């Protein structure tokens, strides 16, 4: 009997290890599925809020574009396009719904960590308060085009911003430059990355010379997207494209013996009266790893997620 004791102890140890491993199963697919369910609810609420004029900045965007179109009729096509962001027909809302659809296919992501991070980002980006802050960019574009006749929202004045940052921005539409919902960085024949507007937004090109990534990086002004919301309102593929543009530009500058810093290395001064959801967002220059850690911590404390499913909430807390 004594001779069999070591063997019995070994079997018991193996059993406990097996049970322990079984109890620590991967709960990321469950978390992703739960975020998908909750995000659909948020997207429905956001769509309803836009349709019923319940977002302040969406209402202002409609009013601003209508007022400026009456004063400058030649801008009507561009202003009508900008006004779409006050509805579900705008590029920002469509971007969220497209990213939400992409969540259904794990093949769109490098691994489960990236898919979970994207699920978390879309869930937060669809929040009505945060989305209202995001709309401050197109509102302020129209405000600046009015030459001060219409006031900026959630941001200091154009003059105060230029003084605080020591930059003069990139002309009309500058708050939208860098935001993949409105355009993209494209290489010209010399290998320089130039901002290319989508569709009707190309009318902004009439107000300024081509915007090069290199010069824009050091001279850009404040915008909600670039300085606050970029992490949440950028898909993994878009983030990868942005990183590629940076690396290519940095390599070109290095070959010329020049230093080049990321356009997000230094946040610009300019935001005011942002929602709690925005003020708790990761900084635009956060690395993917550190930002992911912050998000996992903040999402685990999100009451709407926690109350919806105690089982999933425990999974989120373990994933911090």
> Can you give the residue range of the structural domain that contains 262?
29-277
DSSP state of 72: -
319 domain residue, yes or no? no
Listed in sequence order, the DSSP H helices in 24-173 are: 28-51, 56-71, 76-83, 91-102, 112-125, 128-134, 136-145, 158-165
Secondary structure of residue 154 in the 3-state scheme? coil
246 domain residue, yes or no? yes
130: nearest Cα among 294, 275, 228, 235 = 275
Share of the chain above pLDDT 70, in %: 80
Strands 183-187 and 193-197: antiparallel
- The DSSP bridge partners found for residue 186 are 194
220 domain residue, yes or no? yes
pLDDT at 256 over 90: yes
Q: Give the mean model confidence (pLDDT) for residues 232-255.
A: 97
Q: pLDDT tens, 14-59?
A: 445 444 444 468 999 999 999 999 999 999 999 999 999 999 999 9
Q: What per-residue confidence (pLDDT) applies to 25?
A: 84
b/e 206-236 (16+ beta carbons within 10 angstroms → b): eeeeebbbbebbebbbbbbbbbbbbbbbbbb
- 14: exposed, middle or buried (C-beta count within 10 Å: 0-12, 13-18, 19+)? exposed
Q: What per-residue confidence (pLDDT) applies to 11?
A: 55
Q: pLDDT tens, 63-96?
A: 999 999 999 999 999 999 999 999 999 999 999 9
Residue 193 backbone dihedrals phi, psi, to 5 degrees = -80, 120
Domain count, the chain: 1
pLDDT at 246 over 70: yes
73 domain residue, yes or no? yes
Share the mean pLDDT of the chain. Answer: 86
- pTM of the model as a whole: 0.82
Q: Greater confidence, 312 or 115?
A: 115
22 domain residue, yes or no? no
* Cβ atoms of residues 201 and 173 within 8 Å: yes
Q: pLDDT tens, 266-284?
A: 999 999 999 998 988 666 5
The continuous run of DSSP H or E covering 186 comes out as strand 183-187
pLDDT at 249 over 90: yes
DSSP state of 24: T
317 domain residue, yes or no? no
44 domain residue, yes or no? yes
195 domain residue, yes or no? yes
């Amino acid at each position: 009997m004594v001779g069999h004791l070591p063997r019995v102890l070994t079997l018991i140890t193996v059993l406990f290890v097996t049970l322990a491993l079984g109890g620590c199963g991967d709960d990321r697919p469950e978390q992703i599925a739960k975020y998908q369910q909750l995000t659909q609810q948020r997207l429905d609420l956001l769509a309803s809020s836009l349709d019923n004029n319940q977002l302040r900045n969406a209402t202002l965007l409609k009013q601003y574009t209508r007022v400026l179109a009456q004063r400058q009729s030649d801008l009507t096509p561009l202003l009508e396009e900008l006004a779409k962001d006050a509805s579900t027909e705008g590029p920002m809302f469509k971007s969220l719904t497209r990213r939400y659809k992409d969540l259904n296919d794990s093949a769109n992501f490098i691994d489960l960590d990236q898919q979970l991070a994207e699920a978390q980002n879309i869930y937060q980006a669809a929040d009505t308060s945060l989305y209202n802050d995001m709309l401050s960019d197109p509102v302020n574009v129209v405000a600046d085009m009015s030459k001060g006749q219409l006031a900026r929202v959630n941001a200091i004045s154009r003059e105060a911003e230029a003084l605080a940052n020591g930059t003069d921005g990139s002309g009309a539409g500058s708050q939208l430059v860098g935001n993949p919902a409105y355009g993209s960085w494209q290489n010209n024949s010399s290998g320089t990355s130039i901002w290319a507007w989508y569709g009707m937004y190309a009318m902004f090109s009439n107000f300024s010379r081509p915007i090069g990534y290199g010069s824009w990086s050091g001279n850009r002004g404040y915008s909600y997207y670039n300085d606050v919301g970029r992490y949440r309102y950028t898909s993994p593929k878009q983030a990868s494209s942005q990183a590629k543009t940076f690396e290519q530009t940095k390599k070109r500058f290095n070959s010329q013996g020049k230093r080049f810093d990321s356009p997000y290395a230094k946040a610009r001064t300019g935001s005011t009266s942002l929602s709690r959801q925005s003020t708790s967002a990761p900084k635009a220059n956060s690395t993917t790893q550190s930002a992911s850690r912050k998000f996992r911590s903040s999402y685990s404390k999100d009451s709407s997620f926690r109350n919806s499913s105690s089982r999933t909430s425990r999974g989120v807390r373990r994933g911090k």
